[in-house]
């Protein structure tokens, strides 16, 4: 595999961009080596500057449900581009997007468009604080909700990959408002609430919100148990706490109505990203009308963005969500493809007498290099990250491009063919076998 042009570009990049990349996980730090520079994506494939072709399972970290560069999204973008890229004023398409999302996700009564998942989650927390008049919130160890200060406390994704569970620049004040619970452990939530009540002279909790990835994708794919989420919903009801589902990754990815459809649980607020922009930068947060009406200009909780709801992102997103609405069979197809890949990989591991954990929900999956289960943060982080790094490169040289980090998800699109999946299964067998010989 030739990498001369990528290596040359990376040497140039590190002179002008911190670490040579504009998002940490791209840097290959946790797997070794230097990143490849991509020139094109089409269907299930990506191509780098050296002309290498890869079957790819990142899909821009989830939004490419229909593969790279789908014709119907490209057509929508070209049409929107003819009319202008941004107005900083309302457009009809923003209204149509809001109506469509509320139709597809019943818990959404009102919604605000933003520009990223991080904007969505930090705005949801601020709104919950404004609505309840309380300041603290609970997050779960290993869940990643973007890079706002108060989220970077034992976070997942790149922060976990790089071994930075907290970050310089995050103040003690911000950290003090963030309460940490254990994923899939309801007793840890009850304990935090009890401790918080005991610390207050009034005996009431000052916890505004609980935010959770109902299907974690940023410590690798880890599904919350139905019982855990049901009890979490009940506790939030009893304690006047806003329950926020972070579905930036899972929204419209694991099901038409997101993870909340799978669990049949209605959160108070939901955050979105990824797919609702059809691959363009976008985010959103929404939920109960009485909570969302706290957001400016209808209420006192300030949130704004010049490019929020910009016509290009709305056009791509509306095309993607309309396709989902008109073709519900998309999720049956994704399940069939994903199950086929899962079964193939599990058969490989069985043949090679390896007992690594393979977690999958819908078209999201992670192969953890850990013996036994990976059902929470503590078990997931026992994964052998050095071994994953070797596995990543073994797959790469066989034409398979995976996430350059153990604690991320792999995504299947409708464009992955049986030939792609068979090639991936074969490469997986050869890669794991090669690791046992080293």
Do 294 and 426 share a domain, yes or no? no
Active site residue 356: no
Residue 303 contacts residue 112 (beta carbons within 8 Å) = yes
- Domain boundary pick from 326, 353, 386: 326
Last residue of a domain, one of 275, 307, 326: 326
Give the separation between CA 427 and CA 398, rounded to whole angstroms: 6
User: Does residue 160 carry a pLDDT above 50?
Assistant: no
Q: Residues 232-259: pLDDT tens digits?
A: 999 999 999 999 999 999 999 999 999 9
* Region 3-26 average pLDDT: 96
- On average, the pLDDT of the chain sits at 93
pLDDT band at residue 163 using 50, 70 and 90 as cut-offs = very low
Among 57, 144, 388, 401, which one carries the catalytic annotation? 144
Q: Is 246 labeled as catalytic in the residue annotation?
A: yes
What is the C-alpha to C-alpha distance for residues 70 and 56, in angstroms, rounded to an integer? 15
* Chain segment 52-70, per-residue pLDDT in tens: 999 999 999 999 999 999 9
Catalytic: 274?
yes
CA torsion, ordered 284, 287, 293, 296, to nearest 10 deg: -20
Residues in the chain: 438
Q: Are residues 62 and 85 in the same domain?
A: no
Backbone angles phi, psi at 94, to 5 degrees: -60, -40
341 and 202 in one domain?
A: no
Whole-number percent of the chain with pLDDT over 70: 96
**Angle between helical axes of 311-326 and 71-83 (0-180°, round to 10):** 150
Q: How many domains does the chain have?
A: 2
Residue 158 has what pLDDT? 46
Q: Same domain for 213 and 110? A: yes
163 plus 301 within the same structural domain: yes
How far apart are the C-alpha atoms of 205 and 196, rounded to whole Å?
Answer: 6
CB atoms within 10 A of CB 304: 11
The reply to whether 57 and 151 lie within a common domain is no
**pLDDT tens digits for range 323-337:** 999 999 999 999 999
**Pair (333, 317) in one structural domain:** no
- Of 6, 27, 30, 9, the closest CA to residue 18 belongs to 27
Active-site annotation holder among 268, 274, 388, 391? 274
Predicted structure pTM score: 0.94
Check: CB of residue 248 under 8 Å from CB of residue 225: no
pLDDT of residue 175: 74
Predicted confidence (pLDDT) per residue in 167-201, tens digit: 677 777 777 788 989 999 999 999 999 999 988 87
Same domain for 48 and 60: yes
Q: In the prediction, which pLDDT does 429 show?
A: 98
CATH number at residue 46: 3.90.1150.10
Instruction: Give me the mean pLDDT over the 338-351 stretch.
Output: 98
- Same domain? For 62 and 83 the reply is no
**Section 200-213 average pLDDT:** 90
pLDDT of residue 166: 59
Task: Give residue-wise pLDDT tens across range 363-389.
Answer: 999 999 999 999 999 999 999 999 999
Using 50, 70 and 90 to split pLDDT, how confident is the model at 438? low
| Catalytic entry in 48, 177, 246, 268 | 246
Q: Are residues 263 and 149 in the same domain?
A: yes
pLDDT at 159: 45
Region for 240 from its dihedrals, namely left if φ exceeds 0, alpha if ψ lies in -120 to 50, beta otherwise: left
Q: Which domain holds residue 55?
A: 4-69+329-437
Top pLDDT among 195 and 410 is at 410
Domain termination site, one of 269, 300, 326: 326
Distance separating alpha carbons of residues 374 and 155, to the nearest angstrom = 17
Q: 29 with 124, same domain?
A: no
The answer on pLDDT for 150 being more than 60 is yes
User: Could you report the per-residue pLDDT of 94-122, keeping only the tens digit for each?
Assistant: 999 999 999 999 999 999 999 999 999 99
Q: In terms of domains, do 365 and 427 share one?
A: yes
pLDDT tens column, 388-409: 999 999 999 999 999 999 999 9
**Res 146 pLDDT > 50:** yes
Residue 94 half-sphere exposure toward CB, CA atoms < 13 A = 19
CATH number at residue 210: 3.40.640.10
């Amino acid at each position: 595999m030739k990498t001369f042009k990528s290596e040359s570009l990376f040497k140039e990049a590190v002179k002008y961009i911190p670490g040579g990349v504009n998002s940490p996980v791209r840097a290959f730090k946790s797997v070794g080596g230097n990143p490849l520079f991509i020139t094109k994506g089409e269907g299930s494939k990506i191509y780098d500057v050296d002309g290498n072709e890869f079957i790819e399972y990142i899909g821009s970290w989830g939004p490419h449900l229909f593969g790279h560069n789908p014709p119907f999204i490209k057509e929508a973008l070209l049409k929107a581009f003819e009319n202008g890229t941004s107005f900083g004023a309302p457009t009809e398409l923003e209204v149509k997007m809001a109506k469509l999302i509320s139709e597809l996700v019943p818990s959404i009564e009102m919604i605000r468009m933003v520009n990223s998942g991080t904007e969505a989650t930090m705005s949801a927390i601020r709104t919950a604080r404004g609505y309840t008049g309380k300041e603290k919130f609970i997050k779960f160890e290993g869940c990643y909700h973007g890079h706002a200060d108060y989220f970077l406390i034992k976070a997942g994704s790149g922060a976990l990959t790089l071994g930075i569970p907290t970050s310089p620049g995050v103040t003690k004040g911000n950290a003090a408002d963030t309460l940490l619970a254990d994923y899939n452990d309801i007793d840890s939530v009850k304990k935090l609430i009890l401790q918080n009540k005991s610390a207050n002279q009034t005996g009431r909790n000052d916890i505004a919100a609980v935010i959770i990835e109902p299907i974690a994708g940023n410590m690798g794919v880890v599904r919350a148990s139905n019982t855990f989420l049901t009890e979490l919903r009940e506790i939030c009801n009893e304690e006047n706490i806003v329950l926020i589902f972070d579905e930036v990754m899972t929204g419209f990815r694991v099901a038409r109505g997101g993870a909340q459809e799978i669990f049949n649980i209605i959160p108070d607020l939901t955050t979105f990203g990824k797919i609702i922009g059809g691959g363009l930068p976008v985010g959103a947060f929404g939920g109960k009308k009485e909570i969302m009406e706290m957001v400016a200009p209808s209420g006192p909780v300030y949130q704004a963005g010049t490019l929020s709801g910009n016509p290009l992102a709305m056009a791509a997103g509306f095309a993607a969500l309309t396709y989902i609405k008109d073709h519900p069979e998309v999720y049956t197809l994704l399940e069939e493809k994903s199950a086929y890949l899962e079964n193939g990989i599990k058969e490989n591991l069985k043949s090679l007498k390896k007992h690594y954990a393979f977690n999958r929900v819908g078209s999201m999956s992670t192969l953890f290099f850990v013996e036994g289960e990976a059902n929470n943060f503590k078990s997931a982080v026992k994964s052998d990250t050095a071994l994953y790094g070797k596995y990543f490169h073994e797959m790469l040289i066989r034409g398979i491009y995976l996430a350059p980090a153990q604690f991320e998800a792999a995504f299947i699109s409708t464009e992955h063919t049986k030939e792609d999946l068979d090639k991936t299964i074969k490469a997986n067998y050869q890669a794991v076998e090669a690791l046992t010989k080293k």
